[in-house]
Amino acid sequence: MKLNFIFSNLNTIVLVIWILFLIIVAIRFFRPAWVRNISFLKLIIVSFVINLLYGAFVTWGQYYVWATVGDFTRVFVNSPLPKQVPMPQLLEWTRPFFENNFGYFLYYVLGRVWLYVFISFLVSVILYFLFKIWKSYRGNFTEYGPELILILMLIVGWPGVIIFIPLGFLFSIILSFVYYLKGKKVTEIEPAFIVAALFTLIFGKIILNFL
C-alpha cells in the first residue's frame, strides 16, 4: 500500500524534496551563519546524490511494477531488445548490450530515466565552467556564485535547465530595474536565480508543454 502511494505520487514527492533542498540552499546563501557546517561543496555532492538516488529508485520501481503486475508486463523485464526497435544511428553500436534477457528493460530505463540524469549532469557541469570563466573576466558573482548556480541547475534538472537559465537572467534584469528605481545598486544576481529555480520547479513542466 505504501509503495502504491509512493508510485502514484512520486512526482509530487520529488518536487517537495527538491523544494525543501532549495530552501536549505537559499538559507546557505542568505543566512550562512545559520548553517555554518554546510558548505557549497557538500550541497553540490548532495545534489548529485539525490539525482542518482532518484534514478536508482525509479529504475527499481519500474522493474518492481513490471515484474509483479502480471505475466504480460513480466515479459518486459525478461526479454532482449527487439531488433525492430529503432535506435539512433549514433548509438547503433550499443545494440549488442541490449541482447540479453534484461535488454528491453535496460533500454527503457536508460532512455526514460538515466538519459535525463546524465544530460542534466553534463549540461550543468559545462555551464558551471562557463559561469566560472565569466566570473573570472566579468565578475557579477559572489564568491560561490557559480557553485550556487550549479546546485540550482542540478535541482531543476533536464530539461528544466532550458527554462531556468533564461529565467534567471530575466529575473536579474527585473530585479536590477526595481532596485534602480529605488536608487539602489544591485551587484548580486544569485537571488534572481534562486527565485528562477523555484519558479522552474513549480511551473517548468507546464511551460515546456507550450514550447
CA distances for 103 relative to 74, 76, 99, 113, 198, angstroms: 13, 9, 5, 15, 37
Distance CA(148)–CA(141), nearest Å, equals 10
State the number of CA atoms in the 13 A half-sphere of 53 facing the CB. Answer: 9
20 band by pLDDT with thresholds 50, 70 and 90: very high
**Alpha helices in the chain, H assignment, sequence order:** 2-8, 10-30, 40-69, 71-74, 103-109, 115-138, 145-181, 190-210
User: In the chain, how many H helices and how many E strands?
Assistant: 8, 0
Residues in the chain, total: 211
Distance CA(149)–CA(50), nearest Å, equals 16
CB of 36 within 8 A of CB of 46? no
Mean pLDDT for the chain overall:
91
Distance CA(114)–CA(5), nearest Å, equals 23
35: which 3 cell numbers? 548553517
pLDDT of 57 above 60: yes
**Model confidence, pTM:** 0.92
CB of 194 within 8 A of CB of 161? no
- pLDDT tens digit sequence for 116-169: 999 999 999 999 999 999 888 876 778 889 999 999 999 999 999 999 999 999
| Phi, psi torsion values for 93, nearest 5 degrees | -65, -15
